[in-house]
């Protein structure tokens, strides 16, 4: 490569073993860890000085010249051998690198000790040249989807630093993911109605909400109180993370309804505490009016508030069983007029 520094011009060549010729850029030299007196060299230019450095090794001799020997560490791993040339004019050239991989006298495994269920988990072995995994694969690594606590075995062999054969076992603990979800304080949800959304998973989970069509101030709580500002389908998204760092995402659609007026068709005012009062269910209504008459057209009950119901009495006594006719009208907050008429049955 040629690098020009102002008026300086230095020619440097790619590092390589002197006994094996110059190697191509990007190639990695593989040695046994602890190998000593390995010679490296670059083309020598008259009057130049060469500064060498060996990560994971020691330059044993020749530093300052175009040829050195290196004693490599006993610790396996990937390292760099670097050299910089300075010519007779004091001009400094580019840093030239050589990648070195030191193979150890033992095999190194790489895998997580624990992972989340359904995670993709990679098991890898370094330091061998032959692999047979328990699932039949023969690469230096395998990747599986973790469904439960799992043990993976691999038979490995290496002949580059002595003939070594070993069986390695790797065990991964499967951590459960959180079970995201939520409950609502009411089955039917209406526009501008206050609604409580409660996370149904573990109370120790961290929870983050995304809620469409809603006025939400706190988004990372287990309990959300909100008001939906628009009708239609609102998508609720929950992301939860448990104490193991495992994540789960949950989606659910809520139908946000507009104005509502519901009138039951029977009630049983017998004092048992169940359905004793005839009451209209409504939401987002105003200007409410309801009249109930008997078969002779006599008004037995009337009211202007949907929260007020008929307890089945008339003129201070229990009204007789049978059919009654009602008329109900109201105006929604949107201005829409609602009118309902029909019959209800009183049973005791």
Residues with Cβ < 8 Å from 189, sequence gap 6 or more?
195, 228, 254, 255, 256, 257
Angstrom distance (rounded) from CA 287 to CA 254? 29
Averaged confidence pLDDT in the chain:
87
Residues with Cβ < 8 Å from 309, sequence gap 6 or more?
277, 278, 279, 280, 303
Q: What is the pLDDT of residues 265-323, one digit of tens each?
A: 999 999 898 999 999 888 888 889 999 999 999 999 999 988 889 999 999 999 999 99
Q: Which long-range contacts (CB under 8 A, 24 or more apart) does 338-344 make?
A: 338/259, 338/261, 338/285, 340/261, 340/263, 342/263, 342/265, 343/265, 344/263, 344/264, 344/265, 344/266, 344/267, 344/278, 344/292
Is the Cα torsion angle 16, 21, 27, 29 positive or negative in sign? negative
Query: Does the domain spanning 182-257 belong to CATH 2.60.40.1080?
Result: yes
Angstrom distance (rounded) from CA 200 to CA 348? 40
CATH number for the domain running over 260-346: 2.60.40.1220
The answer on pLDDT for 110 being more than 90 is: yes
| Average pLDDT, integer, range 169-181 | 96
Q: How confident is the model at residue 334, as a pLDDT?
A: 67
Q: Are 100 and 107 in contact (CB under 8 A)?
A: no
Q: What is the pLDDT of residues 222-265, one digit of tens each?
A: 999 999 989 899 999 999 999 999 999 999 999 998 888 889 99
Q: What angle do CA 279, 281, 286 make, to 5 degrees?
A: 105
Angstrom distance (rounded) from CA 319 to CA 269? 10
CATH 2.60.40.1220 intervals, the chain? 260-346
Q: Which CATH number fits domain 2-103: 2.60.40.10, 3.40.50.170, 2.60.40.2130, 3.90.1150.10?
A: 2.60.40.10
The reply to whether the predicted model has a pTM over 0.85 is: no
CATH 2.60.40.10 intervals, the chain? 2-103
Q: How confident is the model at residue 345, as a pLDDT?
A: 96
Residues with Cβ < 8 Å from 44, sequence gap 6 or more?
65, 66, 67
Helix (H, G, I), strand (E, B) or coil at 3: strand
CATH T-level topology, domain 108-175: Immunoglobulin-like (2.60.40)
The answer on pLDDT for 7 being more than 70 is: no
Q: What is the pLDDT of residues 134-174, one digit of tens each?
A: 989 999 999 999 999 999 999 999 887 777 788 999 999 99
Report residue 17 as tokens: 């073993």
Q: How confident is the model at residue 165, as a pLDDT?
A: 87
Pairing between strand 182-184 and 8-11? unpaired
| Average pLDDT, integer, range 173-201 | 92
Q: Are 153 and 169 in contact (CB under 8 A)?
A: yes
- For residue 86, how many C-alpha atoms fall within 13 Å in the half-sphere facing its CB? 7
How long is the chain?
348
Q: Are 334 and 259 in contact (CB under 8 A)?
A: yes
């Amino acid at each position: 490569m040629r690098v020009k520094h102002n008026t300086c011009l230095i020619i440097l060549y790619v590092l390589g073993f002197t006994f094996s010729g110059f190697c191509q850029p990007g190639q990695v030299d593989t040695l046994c860890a602890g190998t000593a007196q390995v010679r490296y060299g670059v083309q020598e230019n008259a009057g130049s000085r060469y500064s060498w450095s060996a990560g994971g090794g020691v330059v044993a001799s020749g530093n300052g010249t175009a040829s050195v020997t290196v004693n490599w560490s006993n610790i396996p791993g990937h390292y760099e051998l670097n050299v910089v040339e300075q010519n007779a004019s004091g001009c400094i050239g580019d840093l030239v690198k050589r990648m070195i991989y030191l193979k150890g006298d033992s095999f190194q495994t790489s895998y997580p000790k624990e992972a989340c269920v359904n995670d993709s988990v990679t098991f890898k072995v370094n330091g061998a040249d032959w692999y047979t995994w328990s699932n039949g694969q023969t690469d230096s690594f395998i990747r599986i989807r973790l469904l439960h606590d799992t043990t993976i075995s691999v038979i490995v062999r290496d002949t580059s630093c002595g003939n070594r054969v070993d069986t390695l076992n790797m065990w991964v603990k499967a951590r459960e993911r959180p079970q995201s979800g939520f409950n609502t304080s009411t089955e039917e949800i209406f526009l501008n109605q206050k609604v409580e959304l409660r996370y149904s998973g573990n109370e120790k989970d961290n929870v983050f909400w995304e809620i469409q069509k809603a006025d939400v101030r706190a988004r990372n709580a287990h309990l959300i109180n909100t008001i939906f500002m628009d009708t239609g389908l609102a998508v609720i998204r929950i992301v939860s993370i448990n104490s193991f760092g495992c994540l789960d995402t949950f989606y659910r659609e809520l139908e946000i309804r507009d104005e509502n007026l519901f009138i039951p068709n029977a009630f049983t005012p017998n004092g048992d505490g169940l359905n004793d009062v005839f009451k209209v269910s409504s939401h987002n209504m105003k200007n409410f009016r309801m009249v109930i008459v008997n078969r002779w057209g006599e008004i037995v009950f009337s009211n202007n508030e949907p929260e007020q119901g008929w307890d089945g009495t008339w003129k201070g006594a229990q009204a007789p069983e049978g059919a009654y006719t009602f008329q109900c009208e109201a105006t929604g907050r949107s201005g829409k007029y609602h009118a309902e008429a029909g019959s209800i049955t009183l049973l005791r």
